[in-house]
Chains A and B, each alone.
Chain A
Amino acid sequence: MIKAILIFNNHGKPRLIRFYQYFAEDMQQQIIRETFHLVSKRDDNVCNFLEGGSLIGGSDYKLIYRHYATLYFVFCVDSSESELGILDLIQVFVETLDKCFENVCELDLIFHMDKVHYILQEVVMGGMVLETNMNEIVAQVELQNRMEKSEFVFISRM
């Protein structure tokens, strides 16, 4: 199970947070701060796994993260997930974002948090991996966006 997915930038500003277990808002912020603190002090050439986040879970949980340019993508998972599998999944997610936003950059995430969420919903659902095939994810996201557009045209005509 994935317990949380956090995306924040090099300064620890959250760009997307998705908890699959309930935490109150202030706790969520504390977790983001702690995770940022843990992840940001690590060099780029060390491994992508990190244990010891004290706020989520416990010994069964670890952080698996990737650092792309200005953004950190952090997944907090338990031992039922494969470490390399999750690393792969982060890559798939980022590539999907890249396709949907065309050369994704931090600004896309800042201004379209809702859209990033909709994409993520097609990858992970309720903490479990839903789809790992990028083409499938992109297809479903586009179909839904098209539907939204058709509705929007309808609404604006009114």
Chain B
Amino acid sequence: MALKIVKGSIDRMFDKNLQDLVRGIRNHKEDEAKYISTCIDEIKQELKQDNIAVKANAVCKLTYLQMLGYDVSWAAFNIVEVMSSSKFTYKRIGYLAASQCFHEGTDVIMLTTNQIRKDLSSPNQYDTGVALTGLSCFVTPDLARDLANDIMTLMSHTKPFIRKKAVLIMYKVFLKYPESLRPAFPRLKEKLEDPDPGVQSAAVNVICELARRNPKNYLSLAPLFFKLMTSSTNNWVLIKIIKLFGALTPLEPRLGKKLIEPLTNLIHRFLSSVIAVLISLSSGMPNHSASIQLCVQKLRILIEDSDQNLKYLGLLAMSKILKTHPKSVQSHKDLILQCLDDKDESIRLRALDLLYGMVSKKNLMEIVKKLMVHVDKAEGTTYRDELLTKIIDICSQSNYQYITNFEWYISILVELTRLEGTRHGHLIASQMLDVAIRVKAIRGFAVLQMATLLDNAHMLTGNTQRNGICEVLYAAAWICGEFSDHLEDPLQTLEAMLRPKVATLPGHIQAVYIQNAAKLFATVLRAQEGVPDSQKAQETSQLLIDRLPLFVQSANLEVQERASCVLQLVKYIQKLQQKEVAVAEEVSALFAGELNPVAPKAQKKVPIPEGLDLDAWINEPPSESESEDEKPRAVFSQEEPRHTRPRHTEVDEKELARRREARKQEQANNPFYIKASPSSQKVYPEVPGVEHIPVVQIDLSVPLKVPGMPMSDQYLKMEEERRQKEKEEKKKKEKKKKKEKRGRGRKHESGPESEEDITPAHTVDIVTEEMPENALPSDDDDKDPNDPHKALDIDLDKPLADSEKLPVRTHRPTDILKSPVEGAELESVSQEPKKKSKKDKKEKKKDKERKCELNLYLKPPDYGFMHLYIPTASGTTLSPLQSFAHSDKITKHLCFCLLQKFSKHKKKKQKKEKEDKKKKKRHHRHHSDEGGDESVQNGTVEEEEPLPVSIQSTTLALLSVQVYDIQGNLQDGSQVVVSVIFENKSTSFLKSMEFNVLDSLNSKLQRPDGAGPHDGLSVPFQLPPGVSNEARFVFSVQSIVMPQKLKGTLTFIVKSEESSTHEKLDFKLHFTCTSYLITTPCYSDAYAKLLESGDLKSSSVRLEGVSMSFHHLLARICFHHHFSVVERIDSCASLYSRSIQGHHVCLLVKTADQTVSIDAKCDEPSLLGNVLDEIKQTFSMC
């Protein structure tokens, strides 16, 4: 053994260490790669040795090689070995290597869990520190889950060195394992007041990162941060806190006012804070114009500063202010424009960004003109491209809001085509297309401009690279073809489009050329056929027949196909022409019809029709014997129709790839299959051979300006003149007005020209893009579903439930497996024998009595009250004595109340309380003989009319249970969340509450994994006397078209000082169809489309004798049945709602003489029927 060690250390002396490696690489500059590969071989040998020192040295060298770009993941296992060394020196090397090259996909990470846990609890703080640092770089969801509890313990470590690292790493843990946030948050909050500044700063850091994404959950921390801000001297902490307030103030305007004083104090203290302060102020205070003015003034000073960094930050802050206070920034336009001349690109880009927000109808032309000057001056292509995109962005923003003259815009676009070497040809092209298609009034002008462009195409074809400027020819050709009616000389354009030089353009552009040449041909024919001289028409045909063969030979399949198609067509037409047959009509019919723009997201918004399952196989999947076992299971498990939007599963792609592979194999083995060979490539060369194309001499005398092109400046001048004229006219008019009304006109005149004064040069009809019929109104398209911070949007103020505790791993695996539910079950079993006799008695009692039944009625939620039949209620077979004894000892009164979520509003609460009082009085009268301190609670939130109350009780309320919210889960159309508030009204302690529901085929209570279908859910809290708490239960519902009732029981233990008893209550949960509806706003046009679509079944209902006002009636339907009013005209209104599974429900409500007729449409007739029944019931109850 000793010998081995000695041998190992002798070996080591001959090994290269890191310094030797670096030196070696520096000495082998010529054959570096070769040298490194021999080094890697050496390292591989070293890693095979048993000596940990040798291994560590090897891993250290690998870390260096990783920096140079070598993949070292093959050594991952050796890295883990070095990490687990007991020596700090080696451990550190191991963790460093791991942090550099481990990631979520590294499989050996699984092996590290126990090692890391051991290191975290090491008595040596530096072992712990190294483990924390390493872990922060490669934490995975599994590691986070397994180690969260250990790290949380470290947050209270005695050494601040460990505490601050543990606090900081928690953020990474939260990201990977969001469930840990709530349990860990109290301790994190505690660390904000840690005596060590480093720990404090770490805690601030973590909370700021958390709050940045979900600020509203952290509002309650504002006072604490306020205190920190006024007391802390750490610059870093201050900046973070101020940034945090920047995120919080928009949510709580009062904060802004409070902040002004401490912030102004800070301005005097630190320079770096100044910027942060200004930035946060700007985003923070909505209505503090004085301080905003001050800010902008200060920023101006910064921007004028010679320090480039301050200038940059000033502009950055300015852009933040711009978002909230555009007016106050716009006055500094001169300064911003000046910054465009700065030598520093970062600053120029910032200034450009600002300009984007500063444009108005008034100054757009002027600003763009300045930008065009910069475009000409700009040296680097990157900056010039940036300018170009910015110009287009500025002009096209918010649906061309600021453009008053589209002729000007077209000429700007045309001028931009002169840019050499730009990569944004495609962008310009799409703008041209967009404007020409959507602004009908401009088409004539646009077509003329495009024709000029086509005519001068040789100017643009110099750059044929992808996305180069030649892309605009694509747009030009299409516009000229599609709107050829506007052309002055279509024949000339046709000729231009068929020049041989066109063949040098990229394939997709040539294809458009040919297609549109055909369109032009149709137009030309129509014009020429009226003329007696038929020779001309034939000449045109001949032109096409002469020119098209060039394209038929094109290498591009698309071009080839279209060209030969058109060629054959023209040949046929020529034949007909020779027979003097009029063909123009028929040829133009080929291209009749208008193409409308379609919104970019339209395809995504088309709802998938009922019953269509895109994932289902059309035919039985082919059985392939060779890869049977690797066939993905998912394909089969999704056979049941899914209502959620199907995803394009990877499976299909894999499948395709596999088949493709198989086919290739087959083809390769098939001697009859003609493979792609060099000989066939000769016929269709992939790249058009440049040398075969006749070179057209470019006339170099042509000026660098496209001839005949109107300069955009002209328009600027014209526009100014026009505005001047308009102004004068207006003044004249106002003078006239003034003569009529003296006092009022004055204010108007003195003010500067306002936005509204500028009228567009010609009225422009911007065609909106089309959306599919019955597109789903949703705005959440832009949200990234993969954002890890979405999972961290967690309410942190709610009390912590037992079930949320972090999993603690113990040594015995049996303990780990046991879920809390099972534990609860054990407990209840042990209690059962004791109470069996009592239970039996009760059971018998129940048989005699009417079944004890609680009806948890989830009808229109606020009507939903429950029918409650308690064994001790009057009218039961209980003897008075028994019932007396019963009520004396443990009285149970469960009252399920249904409160609409709106009832949380104060007003209604007050009303409700009033009503409750009223009812109490009534009950008192009713049951005056029974006396006693009764407390009846019912859930009728109905505002005017009291509902028939079916709760009869002589007993003291023990436990009040309110179902206060039933919410369909919009994300998951099969989930309904029932929120229940349990309130202990007795003087005893209630515990071990267990909520259980007998599942039906359709509806199931969601239980934790591993629990059986009959296990109850333990309510995750106990109730001391007078305390209430809320629990949520998730039900999965398959079909929502029918109302459902679920039977259930609530068991609980009542523990008083002398005894404890096990109690049980049966109840019924009633889900109405209304509770599956979710109030969804709908625009009238979408609504109309929905109705027109014809997919909806209709049904109607009449209500007689409704005496309430129409307004009241609508409010009632909306409120109780979750509808929203789409449109209302007199005594007729249309309403809309959506079910959690996406069914549309449309109502048309009309009223006349106390009769209300409701015509309804829905894509699911039985759902509609039930909803209507429920509406009817609502009105029959009043």
Contacts and interface: CB of A to CB of B under 8 A. Distances in A.
Interface of A: 1, 14, 16-18, 20, 22, 24-26, 28-29, 42-43, 45-52, 80, 82-85, 87-88, 110-111, 113-114, 117-118, 121, 125-133, 136, 140, 143-144, 147-148, 151-152, 155-156, 158
A80 B573 CA distance: 68
B126 A126 contact: no
Contacts of B5: 158
Q: Which of A16, A128, A152 has the most CB of B within 10 A?
A: A128
A130 B64 contact: no
Nearest to A79: B212
7 A-B pairs with least C-beta separation: A126-B136, A47-B308, A22-B103, A46-B344, A84-B272, A29-B69, A47-B312
A133 B205 CA distance: 15
Interface stretch (B164-172, B701-709, B1009-1017): B164-172
Given A1-B209, A126-B172, 7 more contacts: A18-B100, A46-B345, A125-B169, A128-B206, A130-B202, A144-B88, A155-B89
B236 A129 contact: yes
B136 A25 contact: no
A84 B126 contact: no
A46 B347 CA distance: 9
A93 B899 CA distance: 59
A125 B311 contact: no
Q: Which of B19, B69, B93, B209 has the most CB of A within 10 A?
A: B69
A117 B9 CA distance: 26
16 contacts: A46-B344, A46-B345, A47-B311, A49-B309, A82-B239, A83-B309, A85-B272, A113-B22, A125-B132, A126-B172, A128-B168, A129-B201, A132-B236, A143-B126, A151-B89, A155-B89
A80 B26 CA distance: 40
Interface string B302-313: 000000110111
Interface residues of B, number: 71
A131 B89 contact: no
A151 B169 CA distance: 28
Contacts of A47: 308-309, 311-312, 344, 346-347
A114 B96 contact: yes
B660 interface: no
Contacts of B1079: none
Given A47-B312, A83-B313, A155-B87, A147 B126 contact: yes
Nearest to A143: B126
A25 B66 contact: yes
B89 A152 contact: yes
A2 B1096 CA distance: 53
Contacts of A28: 69
A129 B133 CA distance: 12
B201 A132 contact: yes
B1003 interface: no
Interface in B194-229: 197-198, 201-202, 205-206, 208-209, 212
A50 B346 contact: yes
Given A114-B60, A140-B161, A82 B243 contact: yes
B53 interface: yes
A136 B66 CA distance: 30
Contact of B168 (A45, A51, A87, A126): A126
A126 B132 CA distance: 9
Nearest to B308: A47
B67 interface: yes
Nearest to A1: B209
Interface in B722-741: none
A114 B63 contact: yes
A1 B104 CA distance: 19
Nearest to A149: B89
B200 to A, nearest CB: 12
B312 A49 contact: yes
Contact of B9 (A43, A136, A158): A158
Contacts of A121: 96, 133
B76 interface: no
Nearest to B72: A25
A6 B382 CA distance: 23
B161 to A, nearest CB: 6
Contact of B272 (A26, A88, A156, A158): A88
Contacts of B202: 128, 130
